């Protein structure tokens, strides 16, 4: 199959390599001319995925029309704040019914739309799916066994995408619960910031286990209110992605949270991590959704207080511990 990938960061290039090694014809777009020149010369994403030598058949370009024209699948792998702008660039370039796979994670702050909804709004005649799960690019690039889930409006599209992406180290499950998959992939980044903060303050495994467990409870409450399936949020895109993002050395959200827990502002933490920290962009939107659907999400609220309202991580933790006594279920 002929595939176009939008975004040449760590995840975009890791997936490009996977798809090219699966035998597909892959072209990757980036807006950054220097990045494209580096990738064409070295076939290695030296800045974001060092040490992973990419398939020589992958083509890299700054020409978005070359990535959009006559493709079986187009993959959106740009950071969430740039999804709408990138989709606008494709207006008028795609065939009706074009299959698009979004692999970015987040909620648009201005509209509270999921990223699939953003793409559908800008490209209304396309067939948009989402692929998500516990899948750090650093490990997928090195062919470490990984499992993800793809969600589409119809199971036939999910199965087609499953067949394109799946191989002996990258296992793909199918679903039709797009809302659940997108919520899991977005909210987990906010909870991972909290987990990182607890590490930065010197808390232990007990604290992190509590944040993960109560974090999935918050995710499920919001998911239930928005019509997601609970089994989705108990699966790869919910619990699975939450675990890996809260615990992994590769997690930019956990790492940024760690720095914030040590006293840095979120701006300083993002500059130190040197990548887009999706949880920072999703935090306000997740809290706004919680308020819209009248869902209690105290961890998400605490993260917002630390990021944007001047509260220290220690103060936020003590307020969470001092909440009224409740039954667990």
Helix (H), strand (E) at residue 188: helix 178-200
Residue 254, both tokens: 């956990």
Terminal CA-to-CA distance of the chain, rounded, Å? 48
Looking up tokens 């409870």 gives 217
- Looking at residue 245, the DSSP 8-state letter turns out to be H
Q: Which of 71, 105, 188, 284 is catalytic?
A: 188
Burial of 21 (C-beta count, 10 Å sphere; 0-12/13-18/19+)? middle
Residue 34 a catalytic site member: no
| Chain centroid, CA 30 distance in Å | 18
Best CA proximity match to 257, nearest among 276, 277, 238, 239: 277
Residue 272, both tokens: 């130190």
| Chain centroid, CA 105 distance in Å | 3
Give pLDDT tens digits along the chain (329 positions): 999 999 999 999 999 999 999 999 999 999 999 999 999 999 999 999 999 999 999 999 999 999 999 999 999 999 999 999 999 999 999 999 999 999 999 999 999 999 999 999 999 999 999 999 999 999 999 999 999 999 999 999 999 999 999 999 999 999 999 999 999 999 999 999 999 999 999 999 999 999 999 999 999 999 999 999 999 999 999 999 999 999 999 999 999 999 999 999 989 998 998 888 889 989 999 999 999 999 999 999 999 999 999 999 999 999 998 988 888 87
- Alpha carbon distance 299, 320 (integer Å): 7
Helix (H), strand (E) at residue 225: helix 205-226
- Alpha carbon distance 235, 292 (integer Å): 25
pLDDT of residue 269: 92
Cβ contacts of 49 within 8 Å, gap of 6 or more: 10, 13, 14, 137, 138, 141
Residue 258, both tokens: 């760690």
Are 76 and 100 in contact by the 8 Å Cβ rule? The answer is yes
pTM for the model: 0.95
- Domains of the chain by start residue, with CATH: 2-176 (3.40.50.720), 179-321 (1.10.1040.10)
pLDDT of residue 23: 98
- Alpha carbon distance 115, 180 (integer Å): 12
Looking up tokens 């105290």 gives 298
For the chain, the residue count is 329
Best CA proximity match to 73, nearest among 152, 185, 186: 152
pLDDT of residue 234: 97
Residue 306, both tokens: 């630390």
Best CA proximity match to 108, nearest among 117, 97, 96, 120: 117
* Strand order across the beta sheet in which 73-76 lies: 59-61, 25-29, 2-6, 73-76, 99-102, 127-132, 146-151, 170-175
**Reduced to 3 states, what is the DSSP secondary structure of residue 251?**
coil
- Alpha carbon distance 84, 120 (integer Å): 10
Opening angle at CA 149, ends 94 and 67, nearest 5: 25
pLDDT of residue 290: 98
Q: Residue 24: CA atoms inside 13 Å, Cβ hemisphere, count? A: 25
pLDDT of residue 276: 80
Are 112 and 93 in contact by the 8 Å Cβ rule? The answer is no
């Amino acid at each position: 199959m002929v595939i176009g990938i939008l975004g040449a960061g760590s995840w975009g290039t890791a997936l490009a390599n996977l798809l090219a090694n699966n035998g597909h014809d892959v072209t990757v777009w980036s807006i950054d001319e220097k990045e494209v020149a580096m990738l064409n010369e070295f076939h290695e994403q030296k800045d974001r995925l060092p040490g992973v030598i990419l398939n020589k058949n992958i083509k890299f370009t700054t020409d978005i029309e070359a990535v959009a024209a006559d493709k079986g699948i187009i993959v959106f792998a740009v950071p969430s704040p740039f999804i709408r702008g990138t989709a606008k660039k494709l207006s008028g370039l795609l065939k009706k019914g074009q299959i698009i796979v979004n692999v970015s994670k987040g909620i648009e702050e201005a509209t509270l739309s999921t990223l699939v909804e953003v793409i559908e709004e800008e490209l209304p005649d396309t067939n948009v799916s989402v692929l998500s799960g516990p899948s750090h690019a650093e490990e997928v690039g090195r062919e470490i066994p990984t499992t993800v889930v793809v969600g589409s409006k119809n199971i036939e599209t999910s199965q087609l995408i499953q067949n394109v992406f799946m191989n002996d180290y990258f296992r793909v499950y199918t679903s039709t619960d797009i809302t659940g998959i997108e919520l899991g992939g977005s909210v987990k980044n906010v909870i991972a910031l909290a987990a990182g903060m607890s590490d930065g303050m010197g808390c232990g495994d007990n604290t992190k286990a509590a944040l993960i467990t109560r974090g999935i409870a918050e995710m499920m409450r919001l998911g239930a209110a928005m019509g997601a399936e609970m089994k989705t949020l108990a699966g790869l895109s919910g619990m699975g992605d939450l675990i890996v993002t809260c615990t992994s050395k590769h997690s930019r959200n956990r790492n940024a949270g760690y720095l914030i827990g040590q006293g840095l502002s979120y701006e300083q933490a993002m500059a130190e991590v040197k990548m887009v920290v999706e949880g920072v962009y999703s935090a306000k939107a997740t809290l706004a959704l919680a308020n819209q659907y009248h869902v209690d999400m105290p961890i998400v609220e605490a993260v917002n207080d630390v990021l944007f309202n001047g509260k220290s991580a220690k103060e936020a933790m003590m307020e969470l511990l001092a909440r009224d006594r409740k039954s667990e279920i």
